[in-house]
Amino acid sequence: MAHATDRTTLVHQRLKDLHADNWVNHAILYHHATLAKRIKPLVRKGPIDAVFQPGPKTANQKRRKALQWEYTKIERQVVAVEGSFNSDIPFNSMFHPKENRNSIGEIFPGIGKAKCQTLIANDILTVKELLEYKGDNPCIKW
């Protein structure tokens, strides 16, 4: 029951009390229904979705779910490897980390800063262009 003259704190306190009463009423209703064997008690703990979506029951269903999980995991790995295989690495992005001699685990350890500069100066800008290079430019000396 609220009136126009009620303060905000009083309205807030009444809403808290109402919410607590509702919570207690729902808990009592649940326990009475459980005692009357109208509903099954919740034994699982976890997300609420686990209560409404029962897990696999038979061994075949469990095996199918495990295989489906493995298949999805392997499929994602294949997509990741394909993406890294099809992508190209520009020498500009390799040049800056190779300036620092303290960097460890850089890609292409045989190609240093000077070689990156030589390749960029001779219009070989990516790794794929280097792989397709026929060796017809006498200016490139390793």
**Does some domain include residue 136?**
no
Alpha helices by DSSP H, listed for 36-57, are 48-52
pTM assigned to the model: 0.36
**Does some domain include residue 63?**
no
Q: Does the pLDDT of residue 134 top 80, yes or no?
A: no
Q: Does the pLDDT of residue 68 top 80, yes or no?
A: yes
**Does some domain include residue 86?**
no
**Does some domain include residue 69?**
no
Q: Give the residue carrying structure tokens 């262009």.
A: 129
Averaged over 97-126, what is the pLDDT? 73
Task: Give the pair of three-digit tokens for residue 36.
Answer: 């009357």
d(CA 63, CA 56): 9
Task: Give the pair of three-digit tokens for residue 89.
Answer: 């690495």
**Does some domain include residue 31?**
yes
Domain count along the chain: 2
**Does some domain include residue 72?**
no
Q: For residue 16, what are the domain limits?
A: 1-45
pLDDT reported for residue 72: 95
**Does some domain include residue 1?**
yes
Contacts of residue 120, defined as CB under 8 A and 6 or more positions apart, other chains included, come to 91, 92, 95
**Does some domain include residue 118?**
yes
Q: How confident is the model at residue 79 (pLDDT cuts 50, 70, 90)?
A: very high
Q: Does the pLDDT of residue 61 top 70, yes or no?
A: yes
